[in-house]
Structure 1
Amino acid sequence: MCKLYRQSVEIHPGPDGQPLSFKWKDNWYLIERGYPYKIDKQNWQWYQSMGMDPYLERYRCYTDRNLDCDLVQEQSLWILERVWD
């Protein structure tokens, strides 16, 4: 299960541009593990119906505070898209 947030976050990027940490709700989260992924074509319609762009690459990450979440870069903003239970 997951909860959609769609809230902007501030990130500290690594040399490859991927987030190393991010700030959400006045707390910094250090990303311990993360990887980019793309939405499967079979799920595109659901993402579009929720107002999200299924073509953007997402970044799934696990933080030092036991937060499992998905980040997505929309133009110049990073968005915390969802948090997994």
Structure 2
Amino acid sequence: TQRHLVSALLPEAELVRLRPGPDMVGFSAFYESNGPTQGVVVLRLAGLPTVPVDLIMRLWGAAAEDIAPNLDHLVELARQVAPVV
């Protein structure tokens, strides 16, 4: 499901597996394009295997090369939106 979401939003991009911490897993993808989306981050709380996706972030308005280095900050934002309890 995570792979399909990324492929649907950014079909040309190469998937990169994310494991930002022991409590989150997912994928990111970035692609330099003129389309509506330049990056996608899909995360799931690792302790909830029955929930396929907890958070989807579509990133636009900046070049992929500007967004990708800040991936750690985006994941930290996700922790604030969907905190692990």
Give the TM-score category using the shorter length: 0.3 to 0.5
Counting helix residues as a fraction of each chain, which structure ranks higher?
A: 2
Counting strand residues as a fraction of each chain, which structure ranks higher?
A: 1
Higher relative contact order (CA 8 A, sep 6+): 1
